[in-house]
Structure formats: structure tokens, C-alpha cells
Amino acid sequence: MSNHRALQMFGRSGNPALKADTFSKSAQSSSPTRGIQSTSSQTMTLQGTVNKTGILLALVVLSASWTWNLFFESGNSAAVMPLAIGGAILGFVFALVTIFKKQWSGITAPLYALSQGLFLGAISGIFEMQYPGIVIQAVGLTLGTLASLLFLYKTGIVKPTENFRLMVTSATMGIGVLYLVSMVMNMFGSGGIGFIHSNGLFGIGFSLFVVAIAALNLVLDFDFIEQGSEMGAPKYMEWFGAFSLMVTLIWLYLEMLRLLAKLRSR
């Protein structure tokens, strides 16, 4: 499981890229070429982002099914861990490229999805072998959370105010630092921060908190995508918005797996 703990950070790498001026800068950079040609075919739309999110999700499932089947055919985690680690590393690289070169996101976002799928399929297989039925539970909870947060956002029950953004962003960064410290401690043989991986009440409470923060990041993703559509961001930002949403979903799914595993192990 050390690889799982170490590589969870990859799923979190996209959210920091969604700064308050991400879409406005993109829109400004393309403004000289828009003018009369500024139509829905050249600018970001909600429907276009939804379609591209579906494409990325399909690519994740496609590559994940390969490492999943490979794991269960061999029955040995050693057969898939090189693919899992390689996919996670490639996913991290493609995520960084996507963040800093948003214009390339039409290529790098699908490559990110395929790479992360390799990792997710292997990790999911390992969890499923240990706790039968856990993967379908985690998938169901992740998709259910996505639908619920989208409903709460669209109805205005949950609003991404400045205080909300500050709280979620600060908590996300804090969790990231905590995982990083634990990973470094593991590398030096000190066992990491115990309660992060504990199946005790405190460990379960921590996982519930992390799941909640990951879920609330979805609201920030929804808001930034909507802002980009309203501001007439360039078309390639649909891929970037879909990538950012996929990053959060992958993180949320991994945390759901961790939480369910803790509950099942008690």
C-alpha cells in the first residue's frame, strides 16, 4: 500500500492550477483573435466540457480495466505494480504539462486519463482482492457524491463564496502537506504518521474529513468551469476544465477506497 499512499498526491495536482484568474487570462490571451469570429464554436461551453469529461472518464475506465484484468489473471500484485507506478508517474508528468501548458490540454488531458487509469486499475484490483465488493461501493459513492454536489451547486444550496474557497483550498493544502510528510517519513523508515492509515476511530474520522474536502473541491471545479463558459474562454479550456474535474474525481475515489477499507478491516 505504500505506493498507493505515495501516489495519491498525483490526484490532487490539478486543483492548485485553478486560480482565480485562470480563465480570465486564457480569455484575454485569445481576445485579439476572437472579434467577429467569437462564436460558441470557438469558445468554451458547459456542454463541451461535460462531453470532454465523459471522454476522459471513458479513457480512465478503458486503461483501468486492462490492469484490473491483468491483476486478476495473474493473481499477483507484482505483475501490475510496474504498470501502476509507471502510469502514476506519467500521469503526474502529464498533469504538470497540462497545468502549465493549457493550450496542449486536448492532448495531455487524455494522456493523463489513460496513465492514471493504469494506476487505478491495479490499485483497485489489490483492494478488491482484499475486500471483495469494495470497488463498486467506492465507484457508487464517488458518482453519488458528484451528482449530489452538482445538485447542491446548481440549486444554490452550496455557494463557492470567498470564505468557502479559502477554507477548502487551505484544507486541501494542509492534507497535501500531511500526506507528503508521512510519505517522507515512510521513506526513512519511521512508519509515517500513524493515524492517517489507522482503522481506529481517529483514523476513520480523518478519512471522513479528507473525503469531505475532496468532495467540496468538486464545487470549486463546477464554479470555475461555469466561469470559463460565461467569460468566453478559448475552446481548449474545455479540456482543461474536464481535466481539473477528473483530477478531483480520482482523488475522491481513492479516498473513498481508503475509508471503506478502514471500515471493512474493523
pLDDT at 69: 95
pLDDT at 22: 58
Neighbours of 193 (CB within 10 A): 16
Question: Which segments of the chain does DSSP mark as H helices, in order?
Answer: 2-7, 22-34, 46-74, 81-100, 105-130, 134-154, 162-187, 194-197, 201-230, 237-265
> Could you give the 3-state DSSP secondary structure of residue 141?
helix
pLDDT at 16: 47
- List average pLDDT for each run of 10 residues in the chain, which is 266 residues long: 37 45 52 43 90 97 96 88 94 96 96 97 95 96 96 93 94 92 79 76 92 96 93 93 97 96 89
Q: Would you kindly state where each structural domain of the chain is located, as residue ranges?
A: 2-30+39-265
pLDDT at 36: 36
Strand partners, 234: 43
> pTM of the entire structure?
0.84
